[in-house]
């Protein structure tokens, strides 16, 4: 078994490394914004974090729904059906369009009532323009996700990585110019960061669609008749898998988002510290997330090809990798928490609290790695409904009540809110892993 796991891990890593790198590229866009905006002041940094918290809910919901493109394309590719793999793109684009419209409408409707979240008034006053600009940038993000998932499912992950890296560099340059008014541009501050992100994401979207359209290796699967019949059936297949998957992502990210809102109830300093610590934790989370997506693709391909004997080694090998990587990040957060916080902001209160939150983040990183890889493996089995119910239990019925009790009733403050994250992720990891073990056993018995 160990030898099989090591062999499968090499194949998983060959797919996961560029996916992880691409995700880190996306996170670097946020890191660049946070670092540069942090130089403007604590209030703009808090507003940036508040806006990104609100946007993370529809964004992660969209990623979950559009992950069905990977599932369907990988299964069809493994079974030698390229045209069927391409149909997942048409269905994914229809789903992306459906997702984009209500998100934008909701943001414009929410803006006059932004005070309902109980954030400091200075943050509410600063957040509006940035929130709307970044909301528009989610449209190219959703479309990019469809093409990226398709390429990765067909075993071509490196080209999307290079495109994403180019987007990161472009975003960094544009953010520097527009935030501080370089090269004759007006100094736009926080709104300049949002505009830079929007422009960079549009360029990335264009490149991500140009690549598969021009690639010889993907031409057989890439759709040639975009408006032909059958798009409705493709959309229904995507939504059947993607909506529960998106529901799980929504449970998790909305739970963390409400935790961020709790931080705003405590004050500007905890909100800024939370933004920095959560950005760091989210960045390291890209490693198990990339492993999760690679496992989803590999299980989908193996099922499509009828190779069920490899399912245990693929899944358990990736879980071992996730625990190992996250263990390294635990040590990094424990030893260098203050130094990491100092990269973002100079305020000593924010630095101290950020370092304390990073210690807690180190604990929940292990649970987070286990749960997300288990989710990816289950998605490869097209098992998304039960994980969604597990997400409701773990994040809304466990994590948030514990965060509120520890943070406000017991008086632990910001550290108490994060303690709820630890408990919720531990429950998610245990239940999702149990579900995966059962699913593998049942599939192997039926083969």
For the chain, what are the domain ranges? 2-446
Backbone angles phi, psi at 41, to 5 degrees: 160, 170
What tokens appear for 180 in the block? 């501080």
pLDDT digits (tens, 9 = 90+) for 65-100: 898 898 888 888 877 788 888 888 999 999 999 999
How confident is the model over 307-330, as a mean pLDDT? 89
pLDDT at 162: 92
**pLDDT given at position 18:** 87
When pLDDT is cut at 50, 70 and 90, the band that residue 265 belongs to is: confident
What is the model's pLDDT at position 28?
67
Residue 425 confidence class, pLDDT cut points 50, 70, 90: very high
Distance CA 322, CA 286 (A): 11
Q: Quick one: how far is CA 133 from the chain centroid?
A: 20
Nearest to 340 by CA among 54, 34, 49: 34
Q: How confident is the model at residue 29 (pLDDT cuts 50, 70, 90)?
A: low
pLDDT at 22 over 80: no
Question: What pLDDT score does 447 carry?
Answer: 64
The whole-number pLDDT of residue 271 equals 83
pLDDT higher than 80, residue 352: yes
DSSP state of 116: G
For the chain, state the CA radius of gyration: 21
pLDDT band at 20 (very low <50, low <70, confident <90, very high): confident
Q: Higher model confidence: residue 1 or residue 438?
A: 438
Q: How far apart are CA 95 and CA 235, in angstroms?
A: 7
pLDDT exceeds cutoff 90 at 321:
yes
CA dihedral 141, 147, 148, 151 (to 10 degrees): 180
Check whether 267 has a pLDDT greater than 70: yes
Per-residue pLDDT, 109: 92
Residues across the chain: 447
pLDDT at 345 over 80: no
**DSSP letter string over 304-373?**
HHT-GGGHHHHHHHHHHHHHHHHHHHHHHHHHHHHHHHHHH---HHHHHHHHHHHHHHHHHHHHHHHHHH
What the block records as the tokens of 395 is: 């994040």
Band of residue 187 on the pLDDT scale cut at 50, 70, 90: confident
The answer to which of 20-24, 202-206, 270-274, 364-368 has the lowest mean pLDDT is 20-24
C-alpha 158/C-alpha 18 separation (Å) is: 5
The residue with greater pLDDT, 65 or 344, is 65
pLDDT digits over 375-390, tens only? 999 998 989 999 999 9
Nearest partner of 146 among 42, 67, 259, 245, judged by Cα:
67
**Range in 104-108, 225-229, 441-445 the model is least confident about:** 225-229
Burial readout 242-277 (b: 16 or more C-beta within 10 A, e: otherwise) = bbbbbbbbbbbbbbbbbbbbbbbebebbbbbbbbbb
pLDDT at 27: 67
State the average pLDDT over residues 416-435: 94
Q: Rounded to two decimals, what is the model's pTM? A: 0.82
Separation of alpha carbons 443 and 441, rounded Å: 6
Distance CA 302, CA 12 (A): 12
3-state secondary structure of 302: helix
Cα 46 from Cα 62, distance rounded (Å): 25
Helix (H) or strand (E) holding 433: helix 414-446
Which band of pLDDT confidence, cut at 50, 70 and 90, is reported for residue 56? confident
More confident: 247 or 53: 247
Residues 264, 271: contact at Cβ < 8 Å?
yes
Q: What is the mean pLDDT of the chain?
A: 87
Mean predicted confidence (pLDDT) in 139-155 = 92
pLDDT tens sequence across 98-132 = 999 999 999 999 888 888 887 788 888 888 889 99
């Amino acid at each position: 078994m160990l030898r099989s796991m090591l062999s499968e891990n090499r194949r998983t890593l060959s797919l996961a490394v560029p996916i992880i790198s691409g995700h880190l590229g996306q996170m670097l866009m946020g890191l660049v914004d946070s670092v540069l905006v942090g130089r403007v002041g604590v209030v703009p940094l808090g507003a940036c974090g508040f806006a990104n918290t609100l946007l993370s809910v529809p964004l992660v919901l969209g990623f979950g729904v559009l992950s069905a493109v990977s599932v369907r394309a990988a299964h069809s590719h493994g079974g030698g059906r390229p045209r069927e793999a391409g149909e997942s793109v048409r269905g994914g684009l229809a789903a992306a369009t459906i997702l984009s419209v209500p998100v934008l409408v909701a943001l414009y409707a929410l803006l006059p009532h932004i005070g309902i979240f109980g954030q400091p008034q200075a943050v509410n006053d600063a957040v509006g323009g940035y929130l709307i600009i970044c909301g528009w940038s989610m449209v190219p993000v959703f479309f990019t996700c469809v093409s990226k998932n398709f390429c990765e499912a067909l075993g071509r992950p490196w080209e999307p990585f290079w495109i994403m890296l180019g987007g990161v560099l472009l975003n960094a340059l544009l953010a520097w110019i527009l935030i501080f008014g370089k090269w004759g541009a007006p100094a736009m501050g926080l709104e300049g960061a949002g505009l830079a992100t929007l422009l960079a994401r549009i360029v990335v979207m264009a490149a991500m669609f140009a690549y598969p359209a021009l690639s010889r290796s993907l031409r057989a699967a890439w759709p040639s008749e975009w408006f032909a019949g059958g798009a409705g059936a493709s959309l229904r297949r995507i939504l059947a898998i993607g909506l529960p998957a998106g529901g799980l992502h929504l449970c998790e990210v909305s739970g963390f988002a409400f935790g961020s809102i709790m931080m705003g109830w405590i004050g500007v300093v905890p909100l800024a510290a939370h933004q920095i610590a959560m950005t760091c934790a989210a960045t390291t989370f890209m490693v198990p997330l990339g492993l999760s997506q690679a496992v989803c693709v590999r299980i989908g391909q193996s099922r499509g090809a009828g190779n069920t004997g490899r399912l245990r080694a693929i899944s358990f090998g990736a879980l071992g990798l996730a625990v190992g990587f996250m263990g390294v990040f635990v040590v990094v957060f424990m030893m260098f928490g203050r130094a990491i916080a100092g990269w973002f902001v100079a305020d000593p209160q924010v630095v101290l609290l950020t370092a304390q939150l990073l210690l807690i983040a180190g604990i929940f990183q292990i649970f987070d790695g286990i749960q997300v890889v288990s989710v990816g493996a289950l998605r490869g089995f097209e098992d998304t409904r039960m994980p969604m119910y597990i997400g409701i239990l773990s994040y809304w019925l466990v994590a948030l009540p514990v965060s509120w009790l520890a943070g406000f009733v017991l008086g632990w403050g910001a550290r108490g809110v994060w303690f709820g994250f630890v408990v919720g992720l531990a429950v998610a990891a245990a239940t999702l892993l149990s579900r995966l073990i059962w699913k593998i056993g049942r599939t192997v018995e039926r083969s």
